[in-house]
Structure 1
């Protein structure tokens, strides 16, 4: 559920029931396409925002039950329309994603965690909410716990990608936290990993872990394939946090990721999952 090209999005996963593969692929195509508009290529910001507005216009047409009008987006929104109608998917989730992608075009700093959390609410949480709607499991408590998991995954992606985001002139570490720990932007420019940086990142890692652990009971409570998929996601996210700690928070020189050798252990743990303490 990582927004950075949706690396953890379960596209056509073998764990998905066959009847959900098409709607999941339709949601993915929408999210990936709009995310690429915001992030990829060399278009000017005004052109990116205009193209994202094309997505909004098509989404509004979909909401009114009208056919797509933009020929370049017609197939994408025709597929999405089928998924929305067949599974009663809330359009607000798609609108939130577009708002977050538009924000990415111009906003490169976050004053505090509340600002960052609001971004995650729109960039990450909708993915989990849509999956719960597909599985007809979108109860208020499930949605709350899904939001915690999805925001945690987004934060984990930020912490493992500090150096990558800096190359795009973006900083997702809240500025007030940086000031509190005595870390400046020069740290990112110089790839400086001293005690101050480690303390800052330890704080951010623990924040992400606490949110993941609070939401994690959802992975135990959901039945069948969605529960199994979510257990893998939760365990994978927590394992990346362990990797960040293992490199002593030096995410400048090594991007902590999951490797092929990690998956057998994660699959075994997911199969024998009884919760995380």
Structure 2
């Protein structure tokens, strides 16, 4: 199993309280479908952006309690709108996700970590914030910890997918840090695990791990099954980082994933840490 911030949605999980399964599924369906518009298939960039703009107009219709002017969007947005209103979910968080997906259509490089962090703020952090609103746990302190976990999960997804992203001609490793460690795009294209690339990846892994550990106390603040679910997510992310290190930072030939044999160990860690 890869670490992907949408796949880490606790969709219909038995750990979720029954009354939250429907809104979580509605949010997931929105996020997954919008992400696929940006990334999947053979549509042109203009077509992708146009469809994402349709999503933005549908969100505005929800916010203004207006009917949709595009009936093809009703299956996703009628359900989403009902849950937004029933649970008082902030619409700006959905807009942030759409902004990030739109950015993915055309932006393939990030100058520095601040620029990448801003992308994570919109592409990953809204997921955790929406879940906290559903759990009625969206306190200022909890939101800060959630942002750390979600940004870390997004970064972990980038680092396990360096090769996958290159096939799309994307590099999420900040250009300033490529330059600092002496790693070229040609090195990434060739899949070369040089000492320079190893040092760069170790730096990225330590930063993501530190961020995850700083956010991890949130899992012990949240009650019952919700906290248990989050502890599993945290341990899964940390395990991917461990696997990248154990593979000698070779994310080109051995993409790190979690398999069935990993979950008993992760469950034990979630219980004891």
The TM-score normalised by the length of structure 2 is: 0.98
Alignment match, 1:8 = 8
* CA distance in structure 2 between the partners assigned to 1:237 and 1:141 by the alignment: 21
What pairs up with 1:24-63 in 2 under 5 angstroms?
24-63=24-63
Alignment match, 1:125 = 125
Please list every run of at least 4 consecutive aligned residues from structure 1 whose deviation after the TM superposition is greater than 3 angstroms.
Answer: 2-5
Shift of 1:4: 4.9
Shift of 1:67: 2.0
* CA distance in structure 2 between the partners assigned to 1:259 and 1:252 by the alignment: 19
Shift of 1:142: 0.1
Alignment match, 2:161 = 161
Mapped contact 2:156–2:208 kept (Cα < 8 A): yes
Mapped contact 1:181–1:196 kept (Cα < 8 A): yes
SS at match of 2:228: helix
Alignment match, 1:23 = 23
* CA distance in structure 2 between the partners assigned to 1:76 and 1:8 by the alignment: 20
Mapped contact 2:160–2:244 kept (Cα < 8 A): yes
1:98 and 2:128 aligned: no
1:226 and 2:226 aligned: yes
Shift of 1:269: 1.8
Residue deviations 1:205-251 (CA, integer Å, cap 9, x gap): 00101110111111111111111111001111001000000001000
Residue deviations 1:68-120 (CA, integer Å, cap 9, x gap): 22111012111001110111000011000000000000000000000000000
Alignment match, 1:151 = 151
CA RMSD of aligned residues (A): 1.1
Shift of 1:3: 8.9
Alignment match, 1:190 = 190
Task: Report the count of equivalent residues.
Answer: 272
Mapped contact 1:5–1:35 kept (Cα < 8 A): no
The TM-score normalised by the length of structure 1 is: 0.96
Alignment match, 2:142 = 142
Structure 1: runs of 5 or more not aligned: none
What pairs up with 1:230-249 in 2 under 5 angstroms?
230-249=230-249
* Greater mean deviation of Cα atoms: 251-260 or 262-271: 262-271
What pairs up with 1:61-76 in 2 under 5 angstroms?
61-76=61-76
Distance 1:3 1:228, change over 3 A: closer
Residue deviations 1:164-207 (CA, integer Å, cap 9, x gap): 00000000000000000000000111100010000000000001
Shift of 1:154: 0.2
Alignment match, 1:205 = 205
Alignment match, 1:88 = 88
* CA distance in structure 2 between the partners assigned to 1:42 and 1:173 by the alignment: 25
* CA distance in structure 1 between the partners assigned to 2:4 and 2:268 by the alignment: 27
Mapped contact 2:3–2:236 kept (Cα < 8 A): no
Determine which structure has greater relative contact order: mean sequence separation of CA pairs < 8 Å that are 6+ residues apart, divided by chain length: 2
Mapped contact 1:183–1:197 kept (Cα < 8 A): yes
* CA distance in structure 2 between the partners assigned to 1:245 and 1:50 by the alignment: 41
